[in-house]
């Protein structure tokens, strides 16, 4: 199951809206096939594992050395491990449970139940009704953790929320005044690359009006290969000029505003109304949910980040602390949470917090 999780992680950033899933086929303690889900609309992990077993060198060796006559006969004696319950429904692809049954596999080991209401235990029942032995809940917590975004989205009906900011050791996220409309770099280039890597793994990225006006960020993934997230910008009174980098054509942008705006079809900027009276973070999450964004990074500034902290609507925080020194500046948000872990990225420290109340 640990290998299933490892394989599944290869799909990080490309499986949306589908979960990360890995699968391993085992005979006599030897892996004879493995695979993971790559992209929506493409084969599920179990399909890859079974297909891979046909051409796997270990399978060939076993068939030569044992009295097992064919790959088909070998599958009858093999065990299939999968980090998420095999699906029972026809979506973009046929049900994996049907394939497993048709392949003659009798022993299936499942990490966790699929929270998708179309599956939700029905895959396991289908296998059991066909005479398969199903063992459930192996490394269950780790398998759920693997798909924490998918689970949060399905069960809490909101995206998984990451907070992210960079601050100086004195606790400033930006100087008090700036003469140029661009970000001041507090963290080092390696940390910045990590930030861009994370952008390729998440579906949405949120900033407030001041950040758009003062930093003019484009919020795309330039320093890492992969998708750029959908940009969500809070612009209550539509103050951000159309020439701002956030409106470039590199990714879609959702403007959260109090001004009733008509959406023009086939443009990459979408306007969504929010009353701005209370619970703004909740309103942003509802908009992200509506657009099927399973995870969002709250990128700043302090006011926007503090809104999510005050409404207790966040799951993980990434705080980069860089070496540069600022005499005066804009204070970083305040998190009253115990530190979860810390990483050193050369001279930038990354502090990771997890929200225990969620
Ligand atoms: C599995 N194995 O590797 C994955 C599963 O539209 P489809 O056919 O691709 O179905 C997507 C749903 O299937 C997805 O929402 C989730 O419930 C399940 N994903 N199931 O047996 C896999 N990725
Ligand atoms: Zn499936």
User: Beta-carbon neighbour count of residue 299 at 10 Å?
Assistant: 24
CA 125 – ligand 2 centroid, Å:
14
Of the residues 150, 179, 200, which one is the last residue of a structural domain?
A: 150
How high is the pLDDT of residue 180?
78
Q: Please indicate, yes or no, whether residues 231 and 263 belong to a single structural domain of this protein.
A: yes
3-class secondary structure for 24-79?
A: EEEECCEEEEEEECCCCCCCCHHHHHHHHHHHCHHHHHHHHHCCCCCHHHHHHHCE
Our count of domains for the chain comes to 2
Q: CA angle, 201 as apex, 209 and 24 as ends, to 5°?
A: 160
Q: Could you give the CA distance from residue 72 to residue 74 in angstroms, rounded to a whole number?
A: 5
Over the stretch 22-79, which tens digit does the pLDDT of each residue have? 999 999 999 999 999 999 999 999 999 999 999 999 999 999 999 999 999 999 999 9
Q: Locate the ligand 1 atom nearest the alpha carbon of residue 40 and give its number.
A: 9
Which pLDDT score is estimated for 266? 79
Given 115, 135, 150, which residue is the final one in a domain? Answer: 150
**Average pLDDT score over the chain:** 95
- Nearest listed ligand to the Cα of residue 38: 1
Same domain as 108, residue 123: yes
307 with 166, same domain: the answer is yes
Ligand 1 atom, smallest distance to 94 CA: 8
Return the minimum-mean-pLDDT range out of 149-163, 167-181, 215-229.
Answer: 167-181
By alpha-carbon position, which residue is closest to atom 18 of ligand 1?
87
Q: In angstroms, what is the span from residue 143 Cα to ligand 1's centroid?
A: 15
pLDDT in tens, 249-304: 999 999 999 999 888 887 899 999 999 999 999 999 999 999 999 999 999 899 99
Q: Which residues are catalytic?
A: 46
Report whether pLDDT(183) > 80. no
Pair (212, 69) in one structural domain: no
Q: Are residues 140 and 173 in the same domain?
A: no
Ligand 1 surroundings by CB, under 6 angstroms: 18-19, 21, 37, 40, 44-46, 84, 86-87, 91-93, 96, 114, 116, 119
Which among 102, 127, 150 is the end of a domain?
A: 150
Q: Does residue 132 sit in the same domain as residue 190?
A: no
Ligand 1 atom closest to residue 118's alpha carbon, by position in its atom list: 17
CA 46–ligand 2 middle distance (angstroms): 7
Q: In terms of domains, do 89 and 185 share one?
A: no
Shared domain for 126 and 20, answered yes or no, is yes
The CA distance from 130 to 133, in Å, is 9
Both 19 and 45 in one domain: the answer is yes
* Dihedral sign, Cα of residue 304, residue 305, residue 306, residue 311: positive
Q: What's the confidence (pLDDT) of residue 258?
A: 97
In this structure, the number of other CB atoms found within 10 A of the CB of residue 145 comes to 12
Same domain, 38 and 124: yes
15 and 95 assigned to the same domain: yes
* CATH number, residue 286: 3.40.430.10
CATH at 78: 3.40.140.10
Question: pTM for this one?
Answer: 0.91
User: Do 139 and 228 lie in a common domain?
Assistant: no
Tell me which residue range forms the domain holding 266: 156-354
Query: Does residue 325 register a pLDDT over 90?
Result: no
């Amino acid at each position: 199951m640990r290998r299933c999780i490892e394989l599944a992680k290869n799909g990080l950033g490309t499986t949306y809206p589908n979960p990360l899933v890995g699968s391993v086929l085992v005979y006599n303690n030897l892996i004879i096939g493995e695979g993971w889900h790559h992209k929506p609309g493409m084969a599920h992990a179990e399909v890859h594992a079974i297909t891979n077993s046909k051409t796997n060198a270990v399978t060939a060796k076993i068939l030569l050395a044992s009295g097992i006559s064919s790959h088909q006969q070998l599958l009858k004696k093999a065990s299939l491990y999968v980090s998420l319950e095999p699906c029972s429904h026809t979506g973009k692809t046929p049900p994996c449970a049907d394939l497993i049954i048709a392949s003659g596999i009798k022993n299936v080991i499942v990490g966790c139940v699929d929270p998708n209401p179309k599956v939700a235990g029905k895959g396991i029942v289908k296998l059991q009704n066909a005479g398969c032995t199903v063992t459930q809940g192996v490394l269950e917590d780790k398998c759920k953790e693997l798909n924490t975004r998918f689970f949060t989205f399905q069960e809490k009906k909101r995206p998984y929320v990451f907070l992210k900011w960079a601050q100086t050791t004195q606790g400033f996220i930006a100087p008090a005044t700036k003469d140029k409309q661009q970000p001041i770099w507090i963290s080092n280039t390696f940390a910045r690359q990590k930030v861009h890597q994370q952008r390729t793994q998440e579906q949405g990225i949120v900033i407030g009006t001041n950040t758009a006006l003062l930093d003019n960020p484009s919020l795309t993934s330039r320093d890492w290969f992969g998708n750029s997230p959908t940009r969500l910008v809070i612009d209550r009174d539509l103050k951000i000029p159309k020439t701002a980098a956030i409106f470039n054509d590199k990714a879609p942008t959702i403007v959260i505003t109090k001004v009733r705006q008509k959406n023009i079809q086939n443009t990459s900027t979408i306007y969504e109304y929010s009353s701005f009276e209370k619970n703004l973070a909740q309103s942003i999450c509802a908009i992200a949910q509506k657009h099927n964004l399973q995870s969002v990074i709250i990128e700043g500034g302090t006011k926007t980040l503090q809104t999510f902290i005050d409404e207790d609507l966040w799951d993980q925080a990434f705080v980069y602390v860089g070496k540069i020194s600022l005499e005066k500046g804009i204070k970083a948000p305040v998190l009253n949470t115990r530190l979860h872990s810390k990483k050193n990225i050369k001279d930038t420290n990354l502090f990771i917090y997890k929200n225990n109340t969620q």
